[in-house]
Amino acid sequence: ADDAWNSSFLAVMLDAMGRRGDELAYCGYSRCDQHLQPMLSDFRATQDVTFNSLLRTCRLSTLATVYDSRRIGKIRFPLDSKREDHAMWLSVLSKIPVGRAVDQVLAKYRIHPTSRSANKLEMIRPQYEVYRQHLQFGRARSIFYTSAWAMHGALKYSR
């Protein structure tokens, strides 16, 4: 709600999708405090994503990702998850082979210390539930992917 797109965000993203025939594209974003002062290094969109790669880490952000709903269909957030964004992106990527990276920083993400997802330890259980309930994975597989997600998240927010 208080994040921001650069003025060229839509033009660059739609141009990249149109030129390449992509069904989903995502870009980088700067990670700022509530006053838009840099807090962490920019998140860079350098790797294309697939359903399998998204199981281990969520590179996609609702702020910096665009998908073609005419080609994929409308995908909604599940109502029963604190990790609804990741569950939604997994649903999208289950329908297409790949989401393409646009290696430009085109948005600003505000990190609030009191935000719903600020405490990463509190997000472990909801993340596990994405695998267990949303994807219907068994316990061992859900624990494996939750562990991978936690490791990647720790690295992402340490830079």
> How far is residue 41's CA from residue 35's CA, in Å, rounded to a whole number?
16
pLDDT for the residue numbered 36 = 86
What is the value of pTM for the model shown? 0.87
The secondary structure element, H or E, covering residue 51 is helix 51-56
Q: How confident is the model at residue 78 (pLDDT cuts 50, 70, 90)?
A: confident
Could you report the per-residue pLDDT of 111-123, keeping only the tens digit for each?
Answer: 877 665 556 688 8
Point out the least confidently predicted range of 27-31, 64-68, 115-119: 115-119
Query: Which residue from 89, 90, 105, 94 is spatially nearest to 45, judged by alpha carbons?
Result: 105
**Cβ contacts of residue 158 below 8 Å, gap of 6+?**
none
Could you report the per-residue pLDDT of 43-53, keeping only the tens digit for each?
Answer: 999 999 999 99
Phi, psi for residue 31 in degrees, rounded to 5? -110, 110
